[in-house]
Structure 1
Amino acid sequence: MSSPLPPPPGAAADAIVRRADRRYATVCALLWLPMGLTIAPLVLLFGERGMALTAVAGFFAAHSLTAALLELPTGGLADVIGRRAVLAAAGLLNAVAFTLQALGTTGWVLALGMGLTGAARALSSGPAEAWYVDTVQAAHGPGAELRTGLARGDTAVSGALAVGTLLGGAAPWLLGLGPEPGEWLREATSGAVLPLSVPPLAGAAVALVFAAYALVALREPERPSVTPAGVLRGVPATVAGGLRLGGRDAVVRRVLIGAAAAGGGLATAELLVPGRAAALTGAAESGAVLFAGLACAGFVCSAIGSRFAPLVARLTGGGERAVLASLSVCGTGLLLLGVTGAVTGGVPLSLAATGYGLLYLGLGAAGPNENDLLHRRVTGAGRATALSVQSLTLQLAGVAAGLTAAALPAGPLPWLPAAAVVFAAALLWARGVSGGGKAAGTAGGRSPDPVRPMTGQPDHVG
């Protein structure tokens, strides 16, 4: 295999990185804005189509199971055939999926739409970030500073989700104003489009823009042509290499455990907070509006945490200490939500809201620092696969946490397992710090250890 090309001169390299920063943030925003548009109206839309709550739960299960099954193969596919082609495919799948969700009237059509969003989620979970890291390291070398750009991407994700949640909640309400709420839209479309259908249809349009932008903006080095047989051989080898790395590298193991903790905390909050909001307002509809506002506030807190993730690393003395501090903030937020779970009143509600904000603030600050450490342990040949392993860990832990929380009696108890897992993950990072800081992630953003290559990757990839 030929030697990699040397990085370009300083000014040219800086320009490449600035351009990559902008394009990565734009891709992140375009990818997650459609999802934000559907957060508030989707369950209500399915109800308007006559679907029972058990059927709606089945639709979301179709999404989660499809994403979990395809997570690793699609990560390997991105490492074999390239990042932008996989991202464009994710955008097209999302456009079809959101259209089916908006216009579907039967259970199998809605389940298909949710399954396709799961497939798109699996396709898009790692390639954009892998493209960004590859581009920056090609410009500035393996020791390039990654944390700031990753933080901007996470901030763009949270910002897009916050804006999308507000727009997705407000649009059906605005369309329903008047003496005959929403009837003009039903009549104009023969009942195919409801006011609640508009946000997912808008999401489908944004998904098409995302697919086009990914193809045009995310330029990659030319790759040798790959035959279907080559893909079939390369993807399993790439996936196996990603799994082996998680087993042999202590830093990667801690990153994966941190992802599991994040998945548990998020799943617990998403399961329990809507019920608390409905109980507070006295009705499911008004509770849904309150939860939409809370979700938007949570995304804003996550954006703030991501924006200041590099500062947290500088203040704490490195990436590992930053993750330790951030996960501790998450655990504190879960504890506040737990201890206020059985009481009402102004002070408990204020503490619960503070806990909700701390959960998302800590997760936002932890993400870029964890991923900065992860990318210093992998090469471009397996980068998307490593991110897929991380995403799969988060999703599976979220399923387990949700089932656990649902089985426990109402009150503080359902919050405690998630808080315990988050604090346990933080303690693992504390052990890494006390062990002498041999893992990557110093305050200067450079890895004191050489990047450890993943084995079993095709030579032409990366």
Structure 2
Amino acid sequence: MTEPSVLRSARRRYATVCALFWFPVGLSVAPQVLLLTERGMTLAAIAGLFAVYSLTVAVLELPTGGLSDVIGRRTVLAAAGVLNLTALTFVGLGTTPWVLTVGLVLMGTGRALSSGPAEAWYVDTVQRHSGPGADLRTGLARGSSATSAALATGTLLGGALPWLLGLGPDIGARLSEATSGTVLPLSVPLLLGAAIQIAFVLRVLTALREPPRPKAALRGVLRSIPVTAVGGLRLGVRDALVARVFLSAGAVGGALGAIELLTPRRAAALTGASESGAVLYAGLACAGFVCFGMGSHFAPLAARVTGSGERAVLAGFGIMVTGLSLLGATAGLTSMVPTAVAALGYGLVYVGLGAAEPNVNALLHRRVASSGRATALSVKSLALQLVGALTGLVVGAVRPGPLPWLLAGTVLLAGTVLWIRRSEPAAPSVAASDPHRTYSDERGSPEPRQSEVRTGREHVRE
């Protein structure tokens, strides 16, 4: 197999794995809250369950990232699929609070395990065949586009399936009666997602081949995980560009946390009822995923047009700030024009995020050795989730209106300002083969010059 064909194959495998993992997540977006309500859970109890999920992800982000760097990407990613399969089954069939709690804990564990291994596998594969200076944006962008397409399709299907089951002979009612209420129409999307997770695990085990890692005793593996995790945190202190990546990820988390909290309430206010508002929000979320995918698709072009990856990130964040400003300016207004402006702002937030994210990750991968790559992605994800949770708490306590959007916009603007100054070029990162050094003491290779981006081999980004 020639080198270009190896890279093309890596792109396809990476994009397929991304789609198979996120499609079940999309299936659960629309029906999950309604299903828990049908099970007799109050809104406060549902919020508690989601807090359990978020806390589980936050606690396990760094340890699981280190685990991937120690024992391999494929093993950890397959374990994430098995846990998600079990979690979706528990939540889809569970009728008691403790079963649902276990399901959310397993879902959070699977989410933490999945944060980074697939992307780290792709980058490892590309750099193994093309060297550390390989352009990563195109492949990473395709992975992000596949993720967005899977989420958008899954969200629409997950919202439509329960409704379709209620048509005609009312298959949903018969299904519920036959299972004594264990399987409701709202359960079907989650159970379908569990079945798709089986295909995900099989695809991971057969497609994500990687060089064998040195065998290590369980005690040594467990000892290596905290060392690797601490190395990821220290990297953000030593390297200014990596610090910017982590801090700006937190800013994005703050913006997204506010949007996810405030937008459903605005949708309900527009339609006049929570049920119809939920349908509107599902459609809007699907549109957001599509916009994110479009932005990701054009991320490599953004880097070429602006002259560098860092300037592309700045431009993407600028588009996000503009979109969030439009959402804030139209808060509380329900007439046609402000509603259209708000929808435009919502789309701009996700277009900008899609254009920035592949470029951010490409910059990060050039600064991090293979032995700590998944850990670095976990630190980035941890920053996003923690700041997002904190911003959500603050925004939720503020009086509705433009002020909550202004607070979220201020957080995002702070992350945007970080990218105004360009970093100095740095030397390539230390090879990952050194077993005593998780991260390079030197900075990663610089972004390729504009001429190199135009004439070099196209690189792949999720």
TM over 0.5: yes
Q: Secondary structure at the match of 2:367?
A: coil
For 1:49, the aligned partner's letter is R
Q: 1:308 aligns with which of 298, 320, 327?
A: 298
How far the C-alpha of 1:272 sits from its partner, in A, is: 0.4
For residues 354-379 of structure 1, what are the alpha-carbon distances to aligned partners after superposition, in whole Å with 9 as ceiling and x for unaligned?
00000111111111000000000001
**Structure-1-length-normalised TM-score:** 0.93
Answer whether contact 2:121 2:208 (CA < 8 A) is retained.
yes
For the pair 1:212 / 2:202, whether they are aligned, the reply is: yes
Q: Deviations over 1:388-440 (max 9, x none)?
A: 00010110011011011101100000011211121221111102x2xxx425x
Which residue is equivalent to 1:451? 429
Residue 224 of structure 1 is matched in structure 2 by: 214
Aligned residue number for residue 6 of structure 1? none
- Note closer, same or farther for the CA distance 1:43–1:240 as it changes in structure 2 (3 Å cut): same
| Distance in 2 between residues matched to 1:460 and 1:329, nearest whole Å | 36
The C-alpha deviation readout for 1:322-350, integer Å capped at 9, x for no partner, is 00000011111111101100222111001
Q: Would the aligned equivalents of 1:165 and 1:292 in 2 still touch at CA under 8 Å? A: yes
Distance 2:243 2:369 in 1: 16
Indicate the residue corresponding to 2:63 in structure 1.
73
Number of residue pairs matched?
440
SS at match of 1:429: coil
Cα offset, 1:179, TM superposition: 6.0
Separation in structure 1 between the aligned mates of residue 245 and residue 433 of structure 2, nearest angstrom: 19
Which amino acid is the alignment partner of residue 61 of structure 2?
Answer: E
Change (3 A) 1:241 1:353: same
**Which of 96, 100, 104 is the aligned partner of 2:86?**
96
Q: 1:194 to 1:292 in 2, by over 3 A?
A: same
Which residue does 1:368 correspond to in 2?
358
Gaps of 5+ in 1: 1-10, 440-447
- Secondary structure, counterpart of 2:419 in structure 1: helix
Amino acid at match of 1:450: P
Task: State the alpha-carbon separation in 1 of the partners of residues 272 and 432 from structure 2.
Answer: 54
- Which residue is equivalent to 2:451? none
CA shift digits 1:234-285 (9 cap, x unpaired): 1111111111101110110111112111111111111000011011111111
Question: 1:461 Cα deviation (Å)?
Answer: 11
Following TM superposition, the consecutive aligned residue runs of length 4 or more in structure 1 with deviations greater than 3 angstroms are 178-181, 452-462
Question: Whole-Å Cα distance in 2 between the matches of residues 54 and 178 of structure 1?
Answer: 35
Identify which of 221, 224, 227 aligns with 1:234.
224
1:290 to 277, 280, 294: 280
Q: 1:28 aligns with which of 3, 18, 21?
A: 18
Question: What SS class does the counterpart of residue 361 from structure 1 fall into?
Answer: helix
Which residue number in structure 1 is paired with residue 119 of structure 2?
A: 129
Alignment of 1:142-157 (within 5 A): 142-157=132-147
Q: Is residue 231–residue 438 contact of structure 2 (8 Å, CA) maintained in 1?
A: no
- Aligned residue in 1 for 2:374: 384
Aligned to 1:84: 74
Is residue 438 of structure 1 aligned with residue 428 of structure 2? no
Find the partner of 1:114 among 98, 104, 115: 104
- Identity, % of aligned pairs? 62
* Cα separation, 2, equivalents of 1:136 and 1:384: 15
Asked if residue 42 in structure 1 is aligned to residue 32 in structure 2, the reply is yes
Paired residues of 2:70 and 2:224 also in contact (CA < 8 A):
yes
1:110-144 Cα deviation digits (max 9, x unpaired): 11111111000000000000000000000000101
| Contact 1:151–1:309, Cα closer than 8 Å, also in 2 | yes
SS at match of 2:295: helix
Provide the rounded CA distance (Å) in 2 between the counterparts of 1:303 and 1:294.
Answer: 14
Preserved contact between residue 377 and residue 453 of structure 1 (Cα < 8 Å): no
Kept in 2: contact 1:334–1:415 (CA 8 A): yes
RMSD: 1.7
Measure the CA separation in 2 of the matches of 1:458 and 1:204: 40
